[in-house]
Chain A
Amino acid sequence: MAVHEKVKELDSVVIRFSGDSGDGMQLVGNIFSNLSATLGNEISTFPDYPAEMRAPQGTLGGVSGFQVQIGAKNVYTPGDKADVLIAMNPAALKANAKSLKPHSVVIIDEDSFTDKDLKKADFKTENPFEELGLTQIQVVPTPITNLVKLSLEGLGVEGKAALRSKNMFALGLVCWLFNRSIESVTPFLEAKFAKKPAVLQANLKVLNDGFNYGANTHASISTYHVEVAEEQEKGIFTDVNGNNATAYGLVAAAEKAGLELFLGSYPITPATDILHELSKRKELGVKTVQCEDEIAAICTAIGASFAGDLAVTTTSGPGLALKGEAIGLAVMAELPLVIIDVQRGGPSTGLPTKTEQADLMQALYGRNGESPAVVVAAKTPTDCFDMAFYASKIALEHMTPVILLTDGFIANGSSAWKIPNLDDYPAINPPYVSADMAEGWKPYKRNEETMVRYWAKPGIPGFEHRVGGLEKDYDTSVISTDPANHQKMTNARQAKIDNIANFIPALEVEGNPEADVLVVGWGGTYGHLHTAVEKMNESGKKVALAHFQYINPLPANTAEVLKKYKKIVVCEINMGQLAGHLRMKVPGIQLEQFNKVQGQPFMVSELVDCFTKLIEE
């Protein structure tokens, strides 16, 4: 063991917990992240699940990872590469070899690095580090399995039950490494295992032993001290991932609008957690129906909307494809509806557990006929709350389906979140019919200024009406096939959506407004683009960022912003869908593209390289 122990002072650090899907890496990753947040760090996390249900133990297919970046401030991404890796087996080491910084610290459970384990992970030699070309890293071999067994001997926990606490040993070791006291972890475990006192006791014991092992053996050459921000925003915080934030945003909108929330959904990765969370929230009055398929999911929501609820359906790309016809019905019947697409790698089944932004065109245009719908996107895990709220507000106030695009990266990623006070959010006022309108009222009668029709919920006498998918007469609301009327109604539906540009925020430019290059992005890539642009400016290169959250309609100042810059690069986790849309909507602009379709988020470093090259060109 090393003789000199020193404390490294860092602004930020990236830690990756990795092991078999049964090793509990997500749990300890979460606990460590939350713990760091309570101590004043900013956090951004990225869980990386395997696609297989239960791949054979010790194989590459079963590796489950959890990455977190903690730092003093401006932590917008989980980080490109890890400073510290905890690898519970050879497969975990192999899966993460490319995500390590050259001098990173790698803690391994040496008890699970036997020849047999190496073989399971397809290593050809006895030295996995050399085989992977990891020559500069600092390995901290720790006999975690045996130490955990020893630790629990006195408690009568043996065999497999004991091995379930291996993750706690790793957590204890990491706590020591980052100067976190055991006392600060204890409340998290107490909350997690409140109903299982025996498990709690065992885990606390192992956690403590893991910490002491680090302290006693000086397992690593250095420990870390991560700066905390001097001025933290005050308030009560919690840790939230994008899917839960989405769920809460919907609840908030229902509360604000005084409506009941209805969710019709069908399980699909990576959107299912929204259904999970809302199914639990019955105390808040949420109604959830797990439907027989994606089509039924949106159709129950459309029925609930017709009947007067704030109606929502949640899905991912393949599900959005199935919902297309029904979205058209909501467009035609002019009913409020929120459709959430947590994008994943496609096409077809694609990469269910990986992230992508390739559903934009589908959201914008994936329906028959002239079928305009509102499309918005969330940019970070916590922004999912706001965008779910505003998607609902637009749907309800403008009587239209709104598609909210998130993605697997921000849906599963989490960060600290100040619990919102709904008094700070605007009112939601749907265009309800009023009693004085009864005389001569028609269902497709519009507010001529906003082109929005009025909402008469069943149950109100005097407003009985029929809506449906067939074209209706502009004035009488009865079925019409008149050519001129179809044009008029098509124009009216389009004008209604276009008019929403007057109700959404302008496109903002951050970074250096006098930039040589304007970076354009949308949705879940914000953290990486923001960080990359910041790095560029810190190094004296003038770069700005315009990040879209509202895509249809585009913010009113879009053309004005884009035309100010000579060089524009649109960065997307797809082959150029926003770029294509912008070219159509803002004629005469020249756009460069940076695209990547690997099921993974951008890396800040690759963005910096791209922007640097563009400036030098």
Chain B
Amino acid sequence: MENKQYTAGDFKSAAKVTWCPGCGDFAILSSLQKAMAELKLTPENTAVISGIGCSSRLPYFMATYGFHTIHGRGSAIATGVKVANPDLSVWQITGDGDCLAIGGNHFIHAVRRNVDLNIILMNNKIYGLTKGQYSPTTERGYVTKTSPYGTIEDPFVPAELTMGARGNFFARSIDVDLSTTFDCMIEAAKHKGASVVEVLQNCVIFTDGVHDYYSDKETRPDRTILLKHGEKMIFGANRDKGLVLDGLKLKVVTIGENGITQEDILTHDATEADNALHYKLALMHNEGLPLAIGVIRNVEAPVYDQEVKAQIAEVQANKPQRKLRDFLLSGETWEVK
């Protein structure tokens, strides 16, 4: 068993996948199974934890250890799993409602603590399982069953929230872009600490086409930019557009125009500890700026579950007691003879 090379198929459970036909989740599930095989994970040492929602059904479709829990609590439960057994590869599967509404508190704290979790956040900007209510990522003005006249709230941007919570890894992909999703999952798993991968996902029932502006195959090259660490921030169907800083703002320029050369284009450094530029890149959204996909931030920092272990080891190095009785006898005691 030990040297067995697992395939994506080995991570598929026998359970029938119950998502609606055409749901973006299928592509994400498939990317995840492929990524796990690529990472040489073993099903027995992998735990997939979820909360509630369409996305959170995913653990049932995996042949790994899995726990489908309660609404919003996936981050907290996954934290417990990882701290109890840091040898497990722990994946949290969540959606925009589960992660950012009811689970917002647990999510930001798991990120802040930097627990070594791979958090896959499927963002379809709607509550699907409860049949179409707006979520914390629904755009202002969007009409849903609970906002028949349009929402009057501004949405969270998951990347902004992640970095606001001192997150060290954030990547973004789109469900139809399987190879970027796959790459982001690989990088997320390799990163030690909390890794957040937002996948823009299409809900065929309630928000069909909500991500079309970016996901449409024809226009995607001009409306998105795939960031790669160490590479120039160049995009466009003709690979002639790039990002530069204009004062404190990002600006799109065309290479070859106004004396702009490749040299002038920013180089992506995902490992920069200062998150100012990562914020700006993650927040790009219309107004002529492309949507950033790929790994936006990937910074090393102390990992919570490892710190828990290390602190115990450190204390044990200085205190000899390993049994309760020995500890109690080392305190204030008296003997009755």
Contacts and interface: CB of A to CB of B under 8 A. Distances in A.
Interface of A: 34, 37-38, 40, 188, 191, 232-239, 248, 251-252, 255, 260, 262, 264, 281-287, 289, 291-293, 295-296, 299-309, 311, 325-326, 328-329, 333, 419-422, 457-470, 478-479
Nearest to B68: A468
Given A284-B322, A459-B45, A34 B84 contact: no
Contacts of A191: 332
B73 A419 contact: no
B42 A461 contact: yes
Contacts, number: 209
B325 A419 contact: yes
Interface in B164-215: none
A262 B80 contact: yes
Given A299-B106, A465-B65, A234 B336 contact: yes
B52 to A, nearest CB: 8
A282 B319 CA distance: 9
B293 interface: no
Nearest to B78: A303
Interface stretch (B31-39, B262-270, B279-287, B310-318): B310-318
Contact of B80 (A248, A292, A311): A311
Contact of A307 (B68, B70, B81, B308): B81
B236 to A, nearest CB: 43
Given A282-B316, A302-B77, A303-B76, A287 B84 contact: yes
Contacts of A463: 44
Contacts of B44: 458-464
A262 B70 contact: no
Contact of A260 (B79, B84, B314, B321): B84
A238 B333 contact: yes
A37 B334 CA distance: 9
Contact of A469 (B13, B68, B311): B68
Contact of B69 (A291, A296, A468): A468
Interface in B290-337: 308, 311-312, 314-316, 318-325, 327-329, 331-337
Interface of B: 1, 13, 15, 42-47, 49, 52, 59-60, 62-70, 73, 76-85, 87-88, 105-106, 109, 308, 311-312, 314-316, 318-325, 327-329, 331-337
B182 to A, nearest CB: 22
B67 A419 contact: no
Contact of B337 (A188, A234, A325, A458): A234
A289 B83 contact: yes
Given A299-B106, A458-B85, A466-B59, A326 B325 contact: no
Nearest to B335: A236
A447 to B, nearest CB: 21
B312 A466 contact: no
Contact of B81 (A236, A251, A303): A303
Contact of A289 (B63, B64, B79): B79
Nearest to B72: A295
